Structure 1
Amino acid sequence: MIVRIMGEGQVRLADSHFPELDELDDELLAEMEAGDGAGFRRTLHALLDRVRELGTPLPDDSLEPSELILPAPDATLEEVRSLLSDDGLIPGR
């Protein structure tokens, strides 16, 4: 799957990594619902860090369509909320 981190670029992620990422996504969603700003920030950074670590970066000039778009690391809680589906940032797989 091709994943874009807004403001950074794209990575290719194997489907086998999504169970781990789904756990972080669930944690992020719970923190957002609880209004836990510090937890939200910590978990958003953890999620994006794992995507960077597990993914293979695509060249900057690559024009692959992104199947999943994740917010920038400095996104606000409100900006992330606008990207959410019922399943969080990462739709159920």
Structure 2
Amino acid sequence: DGLATGATMRAAARAVRQRRPAKLIIAVPVGAKSTCREINAEADEVICVWRPAPFFGVGQFYEDFSQTTDEEVRALLARAACEEKAEITPPND
């Protein structure tokens, strides 16, 4: 959704980095200028489309910034897992 303090993104990037990806790219639609600059240390590439000033919070740039419920997250993860399984095709012998 965006970068305000960057604390959540830092934690996520460090967790992903432990899995040793070939490349770690952080991309967000909006963020505080200073945070977008600071987060560069956590990734190979950072894309922050809009760095408005003044920046008061990510929510100011969304018409609807309601919180995602735990149930919505569980449903999305379950759906993604099913789609991933459907995309895996066994090799032809």
- Greater Rg over alpha carbons, structure: 2
Bin of the TM-score, shorter chain as denominator length: under 0.3
TM-score norm. by structure 1 comes to 0.27
